[in-house]
Amino acid sequence: MKKWALRAIGVYILFGILMYVYLFHIASSTIPHSLKGTSMDPATFLTKRQLVLSQDYSRIRNLLFFLSTPYEWLFYFLILILGCSRAFEKWAVNTSRFQVIQSAVYLFWLSLVSFIATYPFGYVSYRFSKAYQMSNQTFGEWMKDQVIDFWVNYLLMFIVVAVLYGLMRKFKKRWWLPAWLLSIPFTITVMFVQPVVIDPLYNHFYPLQDKALETKILALANKAHIPANHVYEVDMSSKTNSLNAYVTGIGSNARIVLWDTTLKQLNDREILFIMAHEMGHYVEHHIYYGLAGYSLLTLLGLWLTANIMRWTIQKNNGRFKVSEVSNLSSLPLFLLITSVLLFAVSPITNGVSRYEETRADSYALKTTHDKKAAVQTFQDLTRSGLSQVNPPFLVKFFRYDHPTMLDRIHMVEQYPLKK
């Protein structure tokens, strides 16, 4: 077991070194020479200091992204082969004879250890955000959000784990099918309650104070047939300097939300373009296409996970200290496999998302007829987020679910507005 643990750690360290070399010494984020001096050239709308900061901050964020995902895999692998998962299961079984309580106890210990193990990544990310003036949170405020995250994720995971392992015990080989069927209403329920139950745990939402702007936004919403009577403002300036706006929820719980940072840093024309973009997702039915795509991927993913888990446990029973798939101690293996599968399919899901974002940009242009505001919006988003206009290939391939700012501005410049 020590050899397997050391090998896994060694592979992770080697991967980290290779990603560091790629991001800091090999990959290029410069724009093509033919675009120098255009609206796509960051040198035309960023100061020299902002150019340096955006390059450095983006590299750090990208490195943390590529290190954190395999670190999660390493964590689950070590939890399995070192016998920690088996120990958590014994504590759970000794606590109660009721399987629901056993699931709660086991998941608490696994979640707690996972929180402690991944805390350094979160803290480093927080410190860099503070250093580059992206975060306005005090350490206490940041920790409060981490604690809320822990309990929200624990509650959702408890529901999933209790149901999932109940199905595993009842349907030994085909548990993945009823699990998939139940995942659909569960996902829809979470989407329905998130705007009114989960989101307010983190931030304070209140009606938009600028009523003239609200009237303009609701006029756009009316054209898009969005059932909204109010626009909400959320206090994000106490946490970040980044900009954002979104339309969330489904049915009667649909909400139009603007960050107060967006209201402070952008003019009305830019805000209306952003809101038209968000409404474009609604008009294009992206939420329903997303649900359909998610359901299909979940079906395939659960089927693959079930087969991989069964094969892995049969071949590595002694090594992983898990005798059956339905044992609670197999949960880290389930999470490891699903995490790897999600990462493997991310280039496809990112590609689909980038296409949808382009469609939403197109809808916003068609609705507002304001190319100048669109270009200014993308430039301001780049500036506020210290992001790269043209990120390296692997970053775009695995991380970007939006088109690059270079692609978005280029699309705007080439978009044929009808007179």
Distances (CA, A) of 288 to 71, 249, 352: 33, 12, 13
* C-alpha separations of 42 from 37, 242, 340 in Å: 9, 18, 35
Contact 245, 220 (CB under 8 A): no
Q: In what order do the strands lie in the sheet with 205-207?
A: 205-207, 231-234, 255-259, 245-248
Give residue for tokens 């929180």.
115
Q: CA-CA distances (angstroms) from residue 360 to 17, 195, 217, 378? A: 38, 22, 16, 14
Q: 143: Cβ–Cβ under 8 A, 6 or more apart, which residues?
A: none
Rounded Cα gap, residues 326 and 333, in angstroms = 11
Angle at 147 between CA 164 and CA 385, to 5 degrees: 100
- CA 119, distance to chain mean position in Å, is 17
The catalytic position among 89, 214, 270, 278 is: 278
Q: Using CA atoms, how far apart are residues 332 and 353, in angstroms rounded to an integer?
A: 29
Question: Does 233 qualify as catalytic in the annotation?
Answer: no
Q: Which residues are catalytic?
A: 278
